[in-house]
Chain A
């Protein structure tokens, strides 16, 4: 079975731009979660989606948004990028909602200049 895939793997943007990251979960998995990882803050939860509905949201500003499609694929969007948004964005999928085990993708490394 193919693992979680994320595109693109690397992205360079400038302040003020917006970005969309994509995540395809493991086949059959219905839950997708997003995390931001930075050296200073570690792993921080962004949101969790299940059956196209956002179930949980972390403590991030409204510039961070996401959605899930009927095929369970998910996208997250960051608008008006700031330098502090530079991070590794990880997507994880699970069969069902928490506490089901989450399996992670390779991440998208976003650099904001």
Chain B
């Protein structure tokens, strides 16, 4: 079973629309970390956020926001008023206490059309 599921393979929206990228994870650990990374066409993985399992507060950073819900094992990412520059592949990752290795989701390709 996949430990990190990003069910949306590809999402296409028109610029200025809001878009939510889903991430569902599976772990038995009580201590773990969740991450989001962005990979633009250039290839570099850009760190966006890290959240530990004890901090369920939602986070907002400009047009980006994250909704962490332990009850549903989800860590969703919303982009408000999307822009063409947001086009990229977005990865969600889990890091468990057993070895803290990053377990990656398959990624969601986001296409923002002008």
List A residues at the B interface (Cβ < 8 Å). Answer: 42-43, 45, 56, 88, 90, 92, 97-99, 101-107, 109
Contact = CB atoms under 8 A, between A and B. Distances in A.
Given A56-B101, A98-B101, A103 B47 contact: yes
B37 A98 contact: no
A106 B46 CA distance: 9
Contacts of B101: 45, 56, 98
A107 B44 contact: yes
B33, B95, B102 pick with most chain A CB within 10 angstroms: B102
Interface string B1-42: 000000000000000000000000000000001010100001
Interface residues of B, number: 19
B84 interface: no
Interface string B75-102: 0000000000000000100010001111
A92, A104, A105 pick with most chain B CB within 10 angstroms: A104
B66 interface: no
Contact of A101 (B43, B44, B50, B99): B50
Nearest to A109: B43
30 contacts: A42-B106, A42-B107, A43-B102, A43-B104, A45-B101, A56-B99, A56-B101, A88-B43, A90-B43, A92-B45, A97-B100, A98-B101, A98-B102, A99-B33, A99-B95, A99-B100, A101-B35, A101-B47, A102-B47, A102-B102, A103-B47, A104-B37, A104-B44, A104-B45, A104-B46, A106-B42, A106-B43, A106-B44, A107-B44, A109-B43
